[in-house]
Amino acid sequence: MSIVVYCLVFVLGVVGNGVVIWVTGFKMKKTINTVWFLSLAVADFLFTAFLPFSVAYTILDFHWPFGKFLCQLTSMINSLNMFASVYILMVISVDRYLSVVWPIWAQNSRSVHKASCVSLGVWVVALILSTPYFVFRDTGPSVFNPNVIICFNNFALSDDYRTLHLNPLQQFRYQAMIITRFLLSFVVPFTIIVFCYAAIIHRLRRNRTLASQSSRPYKITAAIITAFFLCWSPFHVIAIMGIVPSNTTLASVITISVPIVTSLAFINSCLNPLLYAFMGKDFKNKVRISLLKVLEAAFQEEDCQCHIDTKTDETSHSNERSLDTEV
């Protein structure tokens, strides 16, 4: 199952995120929205580009022939994708919050240059938080077969990692990493995201005119955040369960669940381009237009001071205009 999922995620993720990078990076006018979604696509593209190593590792029955550096690098890329993605989603949510709750300030203060700086800052933070996943990763012979080389977490930072007196240190570092990851990549960012969207919904409900003009631009962002939450929350739950004392039954459940929740987390990296392309008011209209037009519609920067069209007669181009302002 893991091999099939990894291969599908690799193909869909590389192609889909590659197209998003091409469109947002080279074919569209640079806006705040394109900066956010370009960063998100780059994170997913990097992750999916390294998936063939995981595919090969699984096919070879968990024998790692690629050396220690690639073992460390692939692990760091995985965590980099997780941290960068969730923090970009958090930044997008805060940006949406400011645009709705403080529209005048947002209109005067938001800029492409500032968005680019914030995006760069997110990548720096994500890289720092991902460094332990590079440092602790190691290669060594399997306990069950010395001829098989595995890629694993060596929390002892020692070649003699099987020594019993090092077990408490390894366990402490393992638990610290799991708890830190759970807090910094899940609890904290999603608390901020939920707060931002709760405030946005409250503001839109109080202002019907604003809601009718500005609710659509949040659909795709909300869908992306929901998809990320659904794909990653089981992974974090199983990881937390793994650090608490458990009986044989719970240990078996965790063992069975790990490849399933890992595959689900990986799937998230190929979902965003599909959401960009196929979410909208009229699916059939989007199918009829070119891929470039679909993505342009998905990333179109909305105007904070939306204009109300007082004309009652719609022209023959109304469908295309509605697509341009839909997201």
Query: What per-residue confidence (pLDDT) applies to 308?
Result: 37
* Separation of CA 320 from chain center: 30
* Separation of CA 274 from chain center: 14
Amino acid, single-letter form, for residue 197: Y
Token pair of 200, please? 């946005």
Average pLDDT over residues 293-318: 51
272: nearest Cα among 221, 230, 229, 308? 221
pLDDT at 312 over 60: no
Provide the residue ranges of all domains of the chain, joining segments of one domain with +. 2-301
State the average pLDDT for the chain: 82
Place of tokens 């595959």: 263
Contact 97, 89 (CB under 8 A): no
List, for residues 194-236, the tens digit of each pLDDT value.
999 888 888 877 776 555 555 555 677 788 888 999 999 999 9
Average pLDDT over residues 120-136: 96
Q: DSSP for 239-284, please give it.
A: HHHTTS---HHHHHHHHHHHHHHHHHHHHHHHHHHHHHHH-SS-HH
pLDDT at 176 over 90: yes
Kindly state the helix (H) or strand (E) to which residue 174 belongs, with its residue range.
helix 167-182
Token pair of 218, please? 């949040």
Could you give phi then psi for residue 296, rounded to 5 degrees? Answer: -60, -40
What is the third-level CATH fold of 2-301? Rhopdopsin 7-helix transmembrane proteins (1.20.1070)
List, for residues 243-254, the tens digit of each pLDDT value.
887 678 888 888
